[in-house]
């Protein structure tokens, strides 16, 4: 067991079960305990300083020491520390935030429903879609299509949407009625001689074939991230979004954009939908909504959805779903302040500019024999490592290079995320040009150390 008998590391191992960790390995390894933050940096309990190149969990837009968000939370705690939104009760922070989100939406939206996390938001949206389809006399239209590699959460319904085996295996998931189509990753899934547009056309045909095979009258929605995050930072090829949306419209399948990672500037525009020309019927927002200073998420639905839901709640006398913390006044106040700061400080434009700098620097690393692909957009990127570049094959097992690299990066003061052998980067939107250069220098150092390890008898 790590640490002394009374250390926090020892207590963590003794008392806490961690998400996305090997519990037995954690008993031996113990935690990295982060004690404080300063801008894009965090500091552990031993005084080691790290550039947090994943913004925590793809989420801390304003960095780890934004006093204006602290002040917003403090003011609201002094005024109304909690109230709910059940029944016909409300409070001004949730009302003001709902209004702001409707104003900012890239396509017309009608109503906002608040939850505490993106997982809950996706869970609620599935229920609302089912509720709506019952209301309009289409009770068979319940199946939901998402993508292999997509990430939409870990509750039973949202984990069923997620297309990653790690959230299914051992949990008896996905549930029936959740279907998955191919990952739009041209580097990995494109066929020899196939262009990006041909690849996109093939994936659109795959989606349509699935809808026709299952029966269009049974398909409720297609749910997708504008840029796939936890699946490896996958940017769909040219014409993909245009083609899959045409398929959905043709068969009256709802289009849902999961903007949990992409929203509020991550892709260089306010929403990923704007970056890729997506016109959704519903949107899911979280993470950078409050810079994760408070847990909050939002479901946005258009009038087409809302009208039938409202009629059904009237017929039944209640919309029977809700969370104690939905639209929590402190979280809503922080989210409002966060959105204001992003706009006033022009951080969306800044993210676009810093994203160009980041991607240009990473592309220069493509000459490394370890780098198979550099991808992403805005301030989100991934570098996929390979053992054999021409063959696009791993070094031994998938994830071996990624694991070693992330360990070296952390030793070099850089926190990244290894997704198999893809190294994800998603720094806070406030990152400066000098900090981008520092990040890439430490990334290159870690890359060279990984190559040395691989070639000297790893």
| Tokens read off for 266 | 């991550």
Q: Mind listing the pLDDT tens digit for each residue in 400-419?
A: 999 999 999 999 999 999 99
Average pLDDT over residues 9-36: 96
**Above 60 in pLDDT, residue 3?**
no
* Domains along the sequence of the chain with CATH: 32-65+346-455 (3.90.1150.10), 69-344 (3.40.640.10)
CB-based contacts of 196, cutoff 8 Å, min separation 6? 186, 190, 237, 238, 239
- pLDDT score for 2: 60
Over residues 360-388, the mean pLDDT reads 97
Give the mean pLDDT of 48-62: 98
What pLDDT, on a 0 to 100 scale, did the predictor assign at position 457? 73
pLDDT digits (tens, 9 = 90+) for 217-261: 999 999 999 999 999 999 999 999 999 999 999 999 999 999 999
- Which pLDDT score is estimated for 4? 60
pLDDT score at 275: 98
Residues in contact with 375: Cβ distance below 8 Å, sequence separation at least 6, in sequence order: 187, 233, 234, 235, 381, 382, 384
Mean residue pLDDT across the chain: 97
Q: What is the pLDDT of residues 67-76, one digit of tens each?
A: 999 999 999 9
Q: What is the mean pLDDT of residues 102-114?
A: 98
- Percentage of the chain beyond pLDDT 70 is 99
Whether the per-residue pLDDT at 5 is higher than 80: the answer is no
The whole-number pLDDT of residue 184 equals 98
Using alpha carbons, select from 90, 119, 163 the residue that is nearest to residue 299: 119
Measured distance CA(365)–CA(181) in Å, rounded: 32
**CA proximity to 225, closest of 337, 58, 111:** 58
């Amino acid at each position: 067991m790590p640490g002394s008998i009374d250390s926090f590391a020892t207590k963590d191992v003794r008392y806490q079960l961690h998400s996305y960790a090997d519990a037995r390995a954690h008993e031996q390894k113990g935690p990295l305990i982060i004690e404080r933050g300063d801008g894009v940096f965090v500091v552990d309990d031993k005084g080691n300083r790290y550039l947090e190149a994943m913004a925590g969990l793809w989420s801390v837009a304003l960095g780890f020491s934004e006093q204006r968000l602290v002040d917003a939370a403090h003011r609201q705690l002094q005024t109304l520390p909690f109230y709910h939104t059940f029944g016909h009760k409300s409070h001004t922070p949730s009302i003001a935030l709902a209004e702001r989100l409707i104003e900012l939406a890239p396509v017309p939206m009608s109503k906002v429903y608040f939850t505490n996390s993106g997982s809950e938001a996706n869970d609620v949206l599935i229920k609302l879609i089912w509720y709506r389809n019952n209301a309009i006399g289409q009770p068979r239209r319940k199946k939901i299509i998402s993508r292999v590699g997509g990430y939409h959460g870990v509750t039973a319904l949202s984990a069923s949407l997620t297309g990653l085996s790690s959230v299914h295996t051992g949990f008896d998931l996905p549930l029936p009625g959740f279907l998955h189509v191919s990952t739009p990753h041209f580097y990995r899934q494109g066929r020899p001689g196939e262009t990006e547009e041909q690849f996109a056309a093939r994936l659109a045909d795959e989606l349509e074939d699935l809808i026709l095979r299952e029966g269009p009258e049974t398909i409720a929605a297609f749910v997708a991230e504008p840029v796939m995050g936890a699946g490896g930072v996958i940017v769909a090829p040219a014409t993909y979004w245009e083609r899959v949306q045409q398929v959905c419209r043709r068969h009256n399948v709802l289009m849902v954009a999961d903007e949990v990672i992409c929203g509020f500037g991550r892709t260089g525009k306010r929403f990923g939908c704007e970056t890729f020309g997506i016109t959704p019927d519903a949107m899911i927002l979280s993470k950078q909504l409050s810079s994760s200073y408070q847990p909050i998420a939002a479901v946005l639905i258009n009038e087409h959805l809302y009208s039938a839901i409202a009629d059904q709640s009237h017929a039944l006398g209640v919309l029977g779903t809700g969370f104690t913390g939905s639209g929590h006044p402190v979280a809503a106040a922080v989210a409002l302040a966060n959105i204001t700061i992003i706009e006033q400080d022009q951080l969306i434009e800044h993210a676009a500019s810093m994203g160009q700098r980041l991607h240009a620097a990473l592309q220069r690393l493509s000459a490394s024999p370890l780098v198979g692909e550099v991808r992403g957009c805005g301030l989100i990127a991934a570098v996929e490592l390979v053992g054999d570049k021409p063959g696009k094959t791993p070094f031994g097992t998938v994830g071996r290079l990624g694991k070693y690299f992330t360990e070296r990066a952390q030793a070099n003061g850089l926190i990244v995320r290894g997704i198999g052998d893809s190294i994800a980067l998603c720094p806070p939107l406030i990152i400066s040009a000098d900090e981008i250069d520092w990040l890439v220098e430490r990334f290159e150092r870690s890359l060279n150390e990984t190559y040395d390890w691989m070639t000297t008898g790893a």
